[in-house]
Structure 1
Amino acid sequence: MKHKKLFVTLGATLALFLAIVTAGSFYLVDYALVSAERERNSNLAQIEKRFPELKSWVDSLQAVGALRDTFVVMPTTGKRAHALFVRSPRAKGRTAVLVHGYCDNATRMLPIARIYNRELGANVLLPDLYAHGQSDGDAIQMGWKDRLDVLHWISLAPELFRTEADSMRLVVHGISMGAATTMCVSGEQTPQYVKCFVEDCGYTSVWDEFSNEISARFSLPDFPLMYTASWLVQVKYGWNFNEASPLKQVAKCQKPMLFIHGDNDTFVPTWMVYPLYEAKPQPKAHWIAHGSKHADAYGDYKEEYTHRVLEFVKKYM
């Protein structure tokens, strides 16, 4: 009788544990990928308030109808995707594809677009990633499946900018999750006209990033929640936390890459940039922005950020 009661108690405890883990997994996936508050609508005035140098440039583009929208249907998802773009008469084939971060949108990348368009005379293309901005989608992809969408935008660039592929020279520049996307793109086969990459505060892997977050926000260990949540994402969305690895992707990249990270970043901890940089074959360069928190390197060091980015990309574009 005692053994029977023990087995019943153990069974009930196990069932309760599994129920809690299952509920926690659904909560984590929903919290991080589905219900996260996103900047769906552009708030240009708010961005210009933080970056006042942006206003005159945007006004000049809007005055001549040069800041435009485009929509395409992504072959990877069958969903409608949106992007902003600017054609530059001074481009001479130079083009920048700029990738925004987690819960942001294309408009939030306009300060970086200004660098390339105003200082380099480049065309700029700013996609809204899946489930962000004006692009359709129900769940954030953390840069992994987004790499396929960015590759499609890259393939459309010659037609969009009315430039022969042979004369195009293109850089992909991303911030935060956009940097992770950029690194994931870099590990794939890219057209010859893709010349270099700039990643600003991207993470080593989705596993590492979520592990950092559940520890920082909820004081929880990886086991078992990270494992069950990753399995749930695999079942629901067709990818998992381990395969979504910018670290593995940059190890395959043979094209030049500039790494940028703030040394006071706790959201994507600064330590992540070092294994990423080490994994990337030459040519490469890096800049650690002193005192900068997550995604603040440009805001803190506008002139130096601009100088370092242009100094790097001009070598290859």
Structure 2
Amino acid sequence: MIYLLAAGLCVSVILIIGSHYGFRLITQMKHQSSEGIFDYLEHCGVYSREKFKRLEKKEVQTTSVDGLKLGGYLVEPYQKGKRWVILVHGYTVSLYVSTQYIELFQREGFNLLLIDQRRHGKSEGKYTTYGYMEKHDIAAWVAWIVDHYGEDCSIGLHGQSLGGGTVLEYLAMADHHVKFAVADCPYSDLTKLLRHQMSVLNKLPAFPLLGLINRRMHRSAGFRMEQVSPLKAVQNSSLPVLFIHGTEDNYVPTYMSEELYEAKPEPRSLLLVKGAVHGNAYAVDPVRYTKEVRQLIQLALEPEAEDSPELSGISVSNQLSALPSG
């Protein structure tokens, strides 16, 4: 009897410690340094710290609905331009990882706002909530652009990984100034994502750990896993969306973008980049990536053009790469 009680106590302690560790890993994981991010970008050949140092930019700030200071960089190559794109990064990185997309959108005539998501970079915040609160941060930045640059602005969104999930969550409440979204390696549902990462990547039992983590998440961070589902958010969206995913992504499985593509009403498109892992689709095939983004922009902002391409279908890039995950 004593042995059974002792064993039960040990299991309880292990579960408590495991749920605490899992909660911290999911919502408060250590950030990557700016030097490490630029090392990765330079290794991939998509951007460099020297380019960023020379870039004309200015720091900007807004306030979230719950009172956090949110930071970003404004890049304005077109002083009178009305095309804007907001670049949204992934988990544990910062706006520096979004610099790889600057030239892509500049060539399409866009001014850019690179933002630090809450709890990342120069933005305040204690927890990452995977779009539950971050979608309201996107709303704050959209309002900031309109307030500063006028009601005639057209705004696009580009999000990678966590940023992709955030952007898609925002679509359920999108402002009319927002005209399109690019979701690069997004998750379709937070519960499914965490179950995959726990059981497949970390070889841990999803039951009962996931339930314990969920309760701790609700108690400490104010949200539950089931409250984050980009899949549900896109089901009634009429905005043009381009989903992008690497075929070798095991961190956020490729099938999640395929699910999102199937759930999203037209107009929508899906680009699968063969050989790409998590977050490096642009590095693997920048030509195809750029082409698909350009088609999305033309559909969203130039529908009257006779040669505007239709955005409805699946594209699969054939270029392979052994570049590491970002």
SS state of the match for residue 149, structure 1? helix
The yes-or-no answer on 1:225 pairing with 2:209 is yes
The residue that corresponds to 1:310 in the other structure is: 294
**Aligned match for 1:133, one of 114, 118, 121:** 121
SS state of the match for residue 224, structure 1? helix
CA spacing shift, 1:223–1:158, aligned 2, 3 Å = same
Query: Is 2:190–2:226's contact at 8 Å kept on the other side of the alignment?
Result: yes
Report the Cα distance in structure 2 between the residues aligned to 1:56 and 1:262, rounded to whole angstroms: 25
The yes-or-no answer on 1:24 pairing with 2:8 is no
- Report how many aligned residue pairs link the two structures: 301
CA spacing shift, 1:121–1:90, aligned 2, 3 Å = farther
Amino acid at match of 2:247: D
Query: Is 2:89–2:98's contact at 8 Å kept on the other side of the alignment?
Result: yes
The residue that corresponds to 2:312 in the other structure is: none
The yes-or-no answer on 1:147 pairing with 2:155 is no
The yes-or-no answer on 1:87 pairing with 2:76 is yes
What displacement does 1:11 show? Answer: 5.2
Report the Cα distance in structure 2 between the residues aligned to 1:17 and 1:39, rounded to whole angstroms: 33
Q: After alignment, is 202-211 or 45-54 more displaced?
A: 45-54
What displacement does 1:143 show? Answer: 2.7
What displacement does 1:19 show? Answer: 2.8
Report the Cα distance in structure 1 between the residues aligned to 2:203 and 2:37, rounded to whole angstroms: 36
Q: Deviations over 1:224-246 (max 9, x none)?
A: 00011011100001111111111
Amino acid at match of 1:17: V
The residue that corresponds to 1:73 in the other structure is: 63
Q: Deviations over 1:177-232 (max 9, x none)?
A: 110111101122x2211111110110112211111111133312321000110111
Q: Percent identity?
A: 25
TM-score (norm 1): 0.87
The residue that corresponds to 2:192 in the other structure is: 208
SS state of the match for residue 103, structure 1? coil
Query: Is 2:64–2:136's contact at 8 Å kept on the other side of the alignment?
Result: no
What displacement does 1:174 show? Answer: 0.5
The yes-or-no answer on 1:183 pairing with 2:168 is yes
Report the Cα distance in structure 2 between the residues aligned to 1:220 and 1:84, rounded to whole angstroms: 39
For structure 1, the residue ranges without an aligned partner over 5 or more in a row are none
Report the Cα distance in structure 2 between the residues aligned to 1:104 and 1:220, rounded to whole angstroms: 25
Report the Cα distance in structure 2 between the residues aligned to 1:48 and 1:40, rounded to whole angstroms: 13
Report the Cα distance in structure 1 between the residues aligned to 2:37 and 2:201, rounded to whole angstroms: 30
Query: Is 2:181–2:239's contact at 8 Å kept on the other side of the alignment?
Result: yes
**Highest Rg: 1 or 2?**
1
CA spacing shift, 1:48–1:265, aligned 2, 3 Å = closer
Amino acid at match of 2:16: T
The yes-or-no answer on 1:96 pairing with 2:85 is yes
**Aligned match for 1:195, one of 170, 179, 187:** 179
Query: Is 1:70–1:84's contact at 8 Å kept on the other side of the alignment?
Result: yes
TM-score (norm 2): 0.85
The residue that corresponds to 1:235 in the other structure is: 219
For structure 2, the residue ranges without an aligned partner over 5 or more in a row are 302-326
The residue that corresponds to 2:234 in the other structure is: 250
Report the Cα distance in structure 2 between the residues aligned to 1:94 and 1:30, rounded to whole angstroms: 38
Q: After alignment, is 138-147 or 23-32 more displaced?
A: 138-147
Query: Is 1:262–1:296's contact at 8 Å kept on the other side of the alignment?
Result: yes
CA spacing shift, 1:44–1:222, aligned 2, 3 Å = closer
Query: Is 1:168–1:193's contact at 8 Å kept on the other side of the alignment?
Result: yes
Amino acid at match of 1:202: P
Report the Cα distance in structure 1 between the residues aligned to 2:284 and 2:175, rounded to whole angstroms: 34
Amino acid at match of 1:178: G
Runs of 4+ in 1 over 6 A off after TM superposition: none
